[in-house]
Amino acid sequence: MPIARDTGFPGSDAQDDFLRARRGRMLARLSSMLRLQAGDVDVMLSFDEVVEALGRVAERDLGVTTIEIDSIVGTVDRAKEFDRAFRPTSARVRVRFERIADAQRRGASMPPIDVYRVGDLHFVRDGHHRVAVARAQGRDTIDAHVVQVTTRLAVDASISSDALPLKSHERVFRERVPLPSAAAERIAVTDPLDYGSLAEGVEAWGFRLTQHEGERLDREQVALRWWREEYEPVVAILHEADLIGRRETETDAYLRLSSDRYRLMRTHEWTDEAIERVRRGR
């Protein structure tokens, strides 16, 4: 965004703040269209949707502190008046925006905004216009009353609204298949629904293991045994046999080939014959 001007006339400069922010919004939309980016790339994230997808664990009041404005990516209840960079999406907010911008330029003190913190990201509870003005005037930080929310899954600044269903299915998978962190991070599927199929496959594998050993295992035990005795060795074979496609993850390949193996051989075992039949596709 162009540097905020300072002519010494706060009212006029406040109007310019708003107009620059609106121009920035329109140029960002045009750029996204020309780059064929997803439609939600600059949509402000919904706190409730993000936390539901990631799984809320706990929250803690951190009091008032200074936060980076670039870390503010979402909102609790006002998703349409500003885009993800807190640029106005219409002229409806102009009067209030310019009033706050004028007060800021005259040196008036402003109360801290209220935000939720999820990971390193912040979601505004109160103070949307103050954030928008701060961005328009080129400020890097803002005072905020922060409530930290801990979630089961981590989140980063690149997340989009379209990615939330994937995160939601991933969270459910991790609840059903509680793998150690390092192992869980290797599990990645392209289609969110495949997390459910994978969880069902792990549970079925655990049931067969329980029947074979005659001993009941809990979810953690099943998950770890499946990882060590099934997933890791099978994926190693798939890499060696060059059975992982260019556009699929190793987990995608594991699921696809497991299905092919059972369809062709009616077996859950990874024998040399089963692997060769899968390779030939018949």
Task: Based on the fold, state whether residues 211 and 148 are members of the same structural domain.
Answer: no
Task: Based on the fold, state whether residues 138 and 200 are members of the same structural domain.
Answer: no
pLDDT of the residue at 127:
93
**pLDDT value at 116 more than 90:** yes
pLDDT of the residue at 243:
81
Task: Based on the fold, state whether residues 40 and 108 are members of the same structural domain.
Answer: yes
Q: How many CA atoms lie within 13 A of 9 on its CB side?
A: 6
Task: Based on the fold, state whether residues 50 and 142 are members of the same structural domain.
Answer: yes
Query: Considering the domain boundaries, does residue 91 fall inside one?
Result: yes
Query: Considering the domain boundaries, does residue 2 fall inside one?
Result: no
Residue that terminates a domain, selected from 101, 124, 159: 159
Query: Considering the domain boundaries, does residue 71 fall inside one?
Result: yes
pLDDT of the residue at 125:
94
Q: Cα dist. 114→34, 60, 151, 232 in Å?
A: 35, 14, 19, 45
Taking only the tens place, the pLDDT of each residue in 124-157 is 999 999 999 998 888 999 999 999 999 988 877 6
User: What is the number of domains present in the chain?
Assistant: 2
- Of the pLDDT bands very low, low, confident and very high (cuts 50, 70, 90), residue 280 is low
Query: Considering the domain boundaries, does residue 170 fall inside one?
Result: no
pLDDT of the residue at 105:
87
- Of the pLDDT bands very low, low, confident and very high (cuts 50, 70, 90), residue 246 is confident
Residue that terminates a domain, selected from 159, 185, 211: 159
User: Hunting for tokens 């089961």 — which residue is that?
Assistant: 152
Average pLDDT of 228-244? 88
Residue that terminates a domain, selected from 104, 131, 159: 159
Task: Based on the fold, state whether residues 155 and 92 are members of the same structural domain.
Answer: yes
- Of the pLDDT bands very low, low, confident and very high (cuts 50, 70, 90), residue 122 is very high
User: Hunting for tokens 């298949």 — which residue is that?
Assistant: 177
Name the token pair of 125. Answer: 């509870």
Task: Based on the fold, state whether residues 52 and 149 are members of the same structural domain.
Answer: yes
Structural domain that includes position 193: 177-280
Q: Which CATH number does the domain housing residue 47 bear?
A: 3.90.1530.10
Kindly report the average pLDDT of the chain as a whole number. Answer: 81
Taking only the tens place, the pLDDT of each residue in 149-205 is 999 888 776 676 666 767 778 888 888 999 998 999 899 998 888 888 899 989 988
Name the token pair of 163. Answer: 């990615």
Query: Considering the domain boundaries, does residue 168 fall inside one?
Result: no
pLDDT of the residue at 186:
93
Task: Based on the fold, state whether residues 194 and 269 are members of the same structural domain.
Answer: yes
Task: Based on the fold, state whether residues 121 and 74 are members of the same structural domain.
Answer: yes
Query: Considering the domain boundaries, does residue 201 fall inside one?
Result: yes
Query: Considering the domain boundaries, does residue 166 fall inside one?
Result: no
The Cα angle at residue 92 between residues 132 and 48, in degrees rounded to 5: 60
Task: Based on the fold, state whether residues 256 and 229 are members of the same structural domain.
Answer: yes
Task: Based on the fold, state whether residues 181 and 269 are members of the same structural domain.
Answer: yes
Question: What is the edge-to-edge ordering of all strands in the sheet holding 72-75?
Answer: 45-46, 72-75, 121-126, 113-118, 141-151, 56-68
User: pTM value?
Assistant: 0.61
- The percentage of the chain sitting over the pLDDT mark of 90, rounded to a whole number, equals 33
Task: Based on the fold, state whether residues 150 and 187 are members of the same structural domain.
Answer: no
Query: Considering the domain boundaries, does residue 3 fall inside one?
Result: no
Cβ neighbors of 129 (< 8 A, separation 6 or more) are 93, 96, 97, 100
**pLDDT value at 31 more than 70:** no
14-28, 30-44, 57-71: least confident range: 30-44
Task: Based on the fold, state whether residues 192 and 63 are members of the same structural domain.
Answer: no
pLDDT of the residue at 40:
43
pLDDT of the residue at 225:
95
pLDDT of the residue at 41:
42
pLDDT of the residue at 214:
86
